[in-house]
Amino acid sequence: MSLEKIVAISNKYGANPEFVLAGGGNTSYKDSKYLYIKGSGTTLATITECGFVKMNRKKLAAMFTKEYSSDAAEREAQVLEDMMDAREKTELSKRPSVETLLHNLINYKYIVHTHPSMLNGMTCGAKGKEIAKELFGDDVIWIDIIEPGYVLAAKLKEEMDAYKASTGKDADIILLQNHGVFIAANSEREINKKTKYVFDKIESKITRKPDFKAVEFNKEKAALVAPAIRMLLKKANDAASSIVTFCTNKEVMNFVKDEKSFYPVSSAYSPDHIVYCKPYALYIAADDDMEKQYALIKEGIEAYVAKNGFAPKIVAIQNLGFFAWGTNKKNADICAEVFLDACKIGVYSEGFGGPLFMTQYMIDFICNWEVESYRSKVSLAGGAALRLNEKIAIVTGSAQGFGQGIADEMLKQGANVVIADLNYDLAKANSDNMNEKYGKNKTIACRADVGNEEAVTEMVYSTVLAYGGLDIFVNNAGIAIAGSLEEMTVPKFELVTKINYTAYYLCAKLASRIMKIQNKFAPDYPMDIIQINSKSGLAGSNKNFAYAGSKFGGIGLTQSFALELVPYNIKVNAICPGNLLNGPLWSDPEKGLFVQYFKAGKVPGAKSVADVREFYESKVPMHRGCEIIDVARAIFYIVEQEYETGQAIPVTGGQNMLN
Across the range 239-264, mean pLDDT stands at 98
- Closest by Cα among 39, 41, 42 to 52: 39
| CATH code of residue 554 | 3.40.50.720
Is 374 a domain residue? yes
| CATH code of residue 369 | 3.40.225.10
Q: Residue 1: pLDDT band by 50, 70, 90 thresholds?
A: low
Across the range 337-363, mean pLDDT stands at 96
DSSP 110: E
Claim to verify: residue 192 and residue 229 sit in the same structural domain:
no
- Beta strand 570-577 with 648-651: parallel, antiparallel or unpaired? parallel
Residue 17, pLDDT score: 80
Residue 370, pLDDT score: 61
Claim to verify: residue 569 and residue 586 sit in the same structural domain:
no
Q: Percent of the chain having pLDDT more than 90?
A: 77
Residue 98, pLDDT score: 85
Claim to verify: residue 237 and residue 315 sit in the same structural domain:
yes
Is 212 a domain residue? no
* Per-residue CA distances from 25 to 318, 455, 593, 594, 646 (Å): 33, 43, 57, 59, 53
Is 385 a domain residue? no
Residue ranges of alpha helices (H) inside 522-569 are 545-565
Count: domains in the chain: 4
Q: Where are the beta strands (DSSP E) in 540-620?
A: 570-577
- Closest by Cα among 482, 481, 587, 480 to 533: 480
374 pLDDT above the threshold of 50 = no
Is 539 a domain residue? yes
* Per-residue CA distances from 168 to 110, 186, 191, 330, 617 (Å): 20, 18, 21, 48, 88
Contacts of 282 (CB under 8 A, 6+ apart): 300, 301, 304, 312, 314, 315, 316
Distance CA 541, CA 546 (A): 9
650 pLDDT above the threshold of 80 = yes
CB 583 within 8 A of CB 401: yes
Claim to verify: residue 500 and residue 530 sit in the same structural domain:
yes
Examine the fold and report which residue of 168, 203, 238 is the final residue of a domain before the chain moves on.
203
The model's pLDDT over 569-606, given as tens digits with 9 standing for 90+, comes to 999 999 999 988 887 778 888 888 889 889 888 899 99
Is 156 a domain residue? yes
Claim to verify: residue 459 and residue 368 sit in the same structural domain:
no
Least confident of 18-22, 119-123, 175-179, 306-310: 18-22
Is 387 a domain residue? no
Sequential DSSP letters for 4-63: HHHHHHHHHHHT-TTT-STT--EEEEE-SSEEEEEBTT--GGG--GGGEEEEEHHHHHHG
The model's pLDDT over 22-76, given as tens digits with 9 standing for 90+, comes to 667 899 999 999 999 999 888 899 999 999 999 999 999 999 999 999 888 899 8
Sequential DSSP letters for 624-648: S---HHHHHHHHHHHHH-TT--S-E
Claim to verify: residue 510 and residue 366 sit in the same structural domain:
no
Across the range 142-146, mean pLDDT stands at 96
Our measurement of the distance from residue 623's CA atom to the centroid of its chain's CA atoms, rounded to an integer in Å, reads 43
Examine the fold and report which residue of 353, 380, 407 is the final residue of a domain before the chain moves on.
380
Distance CA 322, CA 249 (A): 10
| Element counts in the chain: helices (H) and strands (E) | 26, 18
Helix (H) or strand (E) holding 658: none
Residue 586, pLDDT score: 82
424-458: b (≥16 Cβ within 10 Å) or e: bebbbebbeebbeebbebbbbbbbbbbbebebbbb
Judged on CB neighbours under 10 Å (0-12, 13-18, 19+), 388 is: buried
Least confident of 70-79, 390-399, 451-460: 70-79
Distance CA 250, CA 157 (A): 43
Q: Residue 83: pLDDT band by 50, 70, 90 thresholds?
A: very high
User: Order of strands across the sheet with 173-176?
Assistant: 52-56, 34-38, 26-30, 110-114, 180-185, 173-176, 141-143
Is 169 a domain residue? yes
Mean pLDDT, rounded, of the chain? 93
398 pLDDT above the threshold of 80 = yes
Examine the fold and report which residue of 335, 354, 380 is the final residue of a domain before the chain moves on.
380
Claim to verify: residue 230 and residue 295 sit in the same structural domain:
yes
Tell me the residue range of the domain where 609 lies: 582-625
Across the range 301-307, mean pLDDT stands at 98
Rounded to a whole number of angstroms, the CA Rg of the chain reads 30
* Per-residue CA distances from 509 to 60, 310, 444, 603, 637 (Å): 64, 36, 21, 39, 23
Residue 221, pLDDT score: 98
Q: Which residues are catalytic?
A: 547
Q: What angle do CA 443, 529, 323 make, to 5 degrees?
A: 45
Claim to verify: residue 335 and residue 457 sit in the same structural domain:
no
Distance CA 115, CA 104 (A): 19
Is 358 a domain residue? yes
Q: Bigger pLDDT: 624 or 313?
A: 313
Distance CA 426, CA 424 (A): 5
Residue 354, pLDDT score: 97
Contacts of 169 (CB under 8 A, 6+ apart): none
372 pLDDT above the threshold of 50 = no
Q: Residue 377: pLDDT band by 50, 70, 90 thresholds?
A: low
Across the range 524-538, mean pLDDT stands at 92
Q: Percent of the chain having pLDDT more than 70?
A: 97
Claim to verify: residue 408 and residue 348 sit in the same structural domain:
no
Claim to verify: residue 353 and residue 422 sit in the same structural domain:
no
- Closest by Cα among 183, 207, 193 to 118: 207
Claim to verify: residue 485 and residue 349 sit in the same structural domain:
no
Across the range 499-508, mean pLDDT stands at 94
375 pLDDT above the threshold of 50 = no
Claim to verify: residue 552 and residue 601 sit in the same structural domain:
no
Secondary structure string (H, E, C) spanning 310-333: CCCCEEEECCCEEEEEECCHHHHH
